[in-house]
Chains A and B, each alone.
Chain A
Amino acid sequence: MSQADFEISPESGTSQAVAVPWEVILWNDPVSLISLVVRVLKKVFHYDQAKAERLTMQVHNEGKSVVWTGDKEQAAAYCVALHGYALNATIQQAQ
């Protein structure tokens, strides 16, 4: 994780650095089947059926969903895995 992934905690002044997590965002795409997206979320993240379905429907209804949050390297690895199924995913630092 690079230094840019850390920010200074406003509560503690300069003495404590807080890691800013990265998010994997899955975007809606109008041709991928819901059954495929659910299957891929289960396979890549080992989510159970209910969580995979909930995230998939959020993508479908709201246009996107944060499907995972954590460190940058793992976020990139997950994003690459989603792209292996041609799903439209990106990573960004959490706001």
Chain B
Amino acid sequence: MSEPFQRVPGGIAVDLPSQLRHWLAESAKEASDDAVTMESPVHRRLLGPIDPSQDHDDPIVELQRQFSVEGSLGVFIATADAELLSEEEAEEWIRAFQLMLAAAAARFAIVDEDDVARLDEEQTAIVTTLQAGISLLIEALEA
């Protein structure tokens, strides 16, 4: 069985089942939508103020962060079916997986290790799948 991510001439080869790619793309869309929904815990986690003593970031900082989140998730959604990623796209996949992971953690109200321990089977599978993807992508990029 081949590696899901492998360094090859020209970039990072991706070998993921289509069902998993579809699920990841849907997760990315969900994270992107929730990030801009003010009352969502995902919005607070991904776009809460960087200075907790303030209610809002500086508007320029706010825009930079929103573009960054939308950009990484957008690149992932656009390339979810790709069989070969450039280095830059692979880096965006790591960012996107991390954003999806943080979004899932916010939805599951994970604050500490005890919260991770009480996750149900499906929630645990979501967290561990995303963590595995990040770990394997890092390995491939650093190979």
B38 contacts chain A at the CB level, 8 A cutoff: no
Q: Interface on A for B, CB 8 Å cutoff?
A: 29-33, 35-36, 39, 76, 79-80, 83-92
Residues of B within 8 A of A36 (CB): 94, 98, 134-135, 138
Contact with A along B38-65 (1 / 0, CB 8 A): 0000000110001111000010010011
Number of B interface residues in the complex (CB < 8 A)? 33
Residues of A within 8 A of B112 (CB): 30
18 contacts across the A-B interface (CB closer than 8 A)? A30-B112, A31-B110, A31-B131, A33-B134, A33-B135, A36-B98, A36-B134, A39-B138, A80-B65, A83-B68, A84-B69, A86-B46, A86-B95, A86-B98, A86-B99, A86-B101, A91-B50, A91-B51
Is the pair B116, A30 in contact by a Cβ cutoff of 8 Å? Answer: yes
Is the pair A83, B138 in contact by a Cβ cutoff of 8 Å? Answer: no
Q: Interface on B for A, CB 8 Å cutoff?
A: 45-46, 50-53, 58, 61, 64-65, 68-69, 72, 94-95, 98-99, 101-102, 104-105, 110-113, 115-116, 127, 131, 134-135, 138, 142
